[in-house]
Amino acid sequence: MIEQELIYLIALTKMPKVGPVMAKNLISYCGSVEAVFKETKKNMLKIPGVGQALVENFVPDFAIKEAEQELKFTQKNDITILSYLSDEYPKRLANFDSSPIVLYYKGTSNLNHHRTVAVVGTRQPSEYGRTMCNRLIEGLLPYNVLLVSGLAFGVDAAAHRKCVDINIPTIGVLGHGLDRIYPAEHKQLSSKMIENGGVLTEFPSGTNPDRENFPMRNRIIASMSDVVIVIESKRKGGSIITAEFANEYNKDVFAVPGPVTEELSEGCNKLIKQNKAHLIESAADIAYIMRWEEIDAGKVIQKQLFVELDDVETTMMGHIRDNKELAIDALTYKMGMTPSEVSSLLLGLEFKGLIKTLPGKKYILA
C-alpha cells in the first residue's frame, strides 16, 4: 500500500464520530479512502448513516497532519501499519464489520497463523490457575499454534512467558499505543515476545491505557482466535467479556472448571453451566473438539502439488463446487455442523488456497 493511502487511512481513524463501521461505509460510498477526504460536505450528507455532527467535525487538514506524524513514528520504531485491505491483516478479524481499518504491529509472526488460541484469565491467579495455564500451553506445543493474550498481569503474562520459554509464538494485544508498554513491568517480556510473536494494537501512539480501551482490545483477542480459553475468572471481568465476544463471533470457548467455593472459579463455572464454554482439562480436549492433529515439530513439511483433504473438507468442497457459490448459513445447514466448526473449516480451506470469500460471507472455489 502506498504511503499516502496509509496516511489517509490513519487520518480517518482520528476523525470524531468515525468508527470502523462508518469508516468502511465512507470508503465504500466514496470509492477510495482518498476520495473521502476530497468529498464535499453536501455530498457526504447523502451517505446513509452520515449525520450533521460527523460532517461538522470532519477536519481533514488537522487529521492528515496527525497521521503524517504517526507514520513517522511507526517508521522510526519499526512498527508495521496493517490496512484492513492488506494480505497481512488478520483474516479472522477482517471478517467482522467492527474490525479496525488499521492495526499497528511490531513483531515477527504471521498473524494469519494456521491455528490461533487465546488464553485469558484473572489478574491474580491462584497456584491452581498458574499450574493449569502452564499445563495447557505445554499441551498445545505439538499442535503448532499461535497464542494470543492481552499482556496484562496474571494469567495473560503467565501465558506469554510460558510461550516464550517453550518457543510458541505469542501475540500481545494492547489497549494503548505502541509508544509504551502497560504495565511497564512487562516491557522486557514484550521484547522477548517480539522475537517470536509480537505486540499488536488498533490504537495510535499517545493513546493512554484507559479503562474503555480494554473491552475494545478484548474483541480483537476474541475475533483473532479460533479458540478462547478462560483460566480462572470472577463472575464479571475482562475475561468474561472476551468469552462473550467469542460466543457472539461463533468461536469455540473453553473454560477451566474450579471449586464451587472459590470466587475465582465463578466465571468459568458459570460459562460451562450456561453452555457458553466447553469444560477443559487438557489441550487434548481442544484438539478433540477442533479436530486438530498433532504436527511433528522436527519434521520438515514440503508443499505438495496436490493438497490432501480429509473427508469433511472434501464434502465441504463438493457442496461449494456443486452450488457454484454458497453462503456460510447454507453450508452450516448442509454440513450439519455448528457455525464455529464450519468457520474453522472454511478458514483452513482458504489458507490452503482452495476457496475464496465473496461479499456477504459467500464462498466459491479459488
Domain end among 45, 76, 107 = 76
Flag whether 228 is in a domain.
yes
In the chain, % of residues over pLDDT 90: 73
- Separation between Cα atoms, residue 204 and residue 206, nearest integer Å: 6
Flag whether 306 is in a domain.
no
Flag whether 105 is in a domain.
no
When pLDDT is averaged across residues 293-310 and rounded to a whole number, the result is: 51
What's the per-residue H, E or C state across 168-194? CCEEEECCCCCCCCCCHHHHHHHHHHH
Flag whether 124 is in a domain.
yes
Do the Cβ atoms of 292 and 115 come closer than 8 Å? yes
Flag whether 263 is in a domain.
yes
Do the Cβ atoms of 215 and 189 come closer than 8 Å? no
Say yes or no: 230 and 335 in one domain: no
Say yes or no: 143 and 274 in one domain: yes
- What is the residue-wise DSSP string for 191-252? HHHHHTEEEEESSPTT----TTHHHHHHHHHHHH-SEEEEES--SSSHHHHHHHHHHHTT-E
Say yes or no: 150 and 72 in one domain: no
Tell me how many domains the chain contains.
Answer: 3
Q: Does the pLDDT of residue 182 top 50, yes or no? A: yes
Say yes or no: 171 and 202 in one domain: yes
Can you give the pLDDT at residue 281? 96
The terminus-to-terminus CA distance of the chain in angstroms comes to 24
- Give the HSE-up count for residue 354: Cα atoms under 13 Å, Cβ half-sphere: 18
Say yes or no: 57 and 149 in one domain: no
Say yes or no: 138 and 199 in one domain: yes
Say yes or no: 282 and 246 in one domain: yes
Domain end among 76, 106, 126 = 76
Do the Cβ atoms of 118 and 111 come closer than 8 Å? no
Do the Cβ atoms of 239 and 230 come closer than 8 Å? yes
What's 157's domain CATH number? Answer: 3.40.50.450
Say yes or no: 31 and 146 in one domain: no
Tally of CB atoms within 10 A around 302: 5
Instruction: Output phi, psi for 302, to 5 deg.
Output: -90, 150
Can you give the pLDDT at residue 300? 32
> Taking Cα atoms as reference points, which of 358, 87, 88 lies closest to residue 79?
88
Say yes or no: 164 and 261 in one domain: yes
Q: Does the pLDDT of residue 195 top 90, yes or no? A: yes
Domain end among 236, 256, 290 = 290
Bridge partner list, 312: none
pLDDT tens for 68-122 read 999 999 999 999 999 998 989 999 999 888 999 999 999 999 999 999 999 999 9
What's 37's domain CATH number? Answer: 1.10.150.20
Q: What's the angle, vertex CA 351, arms to CA 288 and CA 353, rounded to 5?
A: 130
When pLDDT is averaged across residues 145-166 and rounded to a whole number, the result is: 97
- Separation between Cα atoms, residue 353 and residue 182, nearest integer Å: 38
Which position has the grid cell 469508516? 23
Say yes or no: 252 and 342 in one domain: no
What's 328's domain CATH number? Answer: 1.10.10.10
Say yes or no: 247 and 361 in one domain: no
Flag whether 350 is in a domain.
yes
Q: Does the pLDDT of residue 1 top 80, yes or no? A: no
Pairing state between β 80-83 and 102-107: antiparallel
Q: 294 falls in which pLDDT band (50, 70, 90)?
A: low
Say yes or no: 187 and 285 in one domain: yes
Flag whether 102 is in a domain.
no
Q: Does the pLDDT of residue 297 top 50, yes or no? A: no
Residue 340: which domain range?
311-365
Flag whether 107 is in a domain.
no
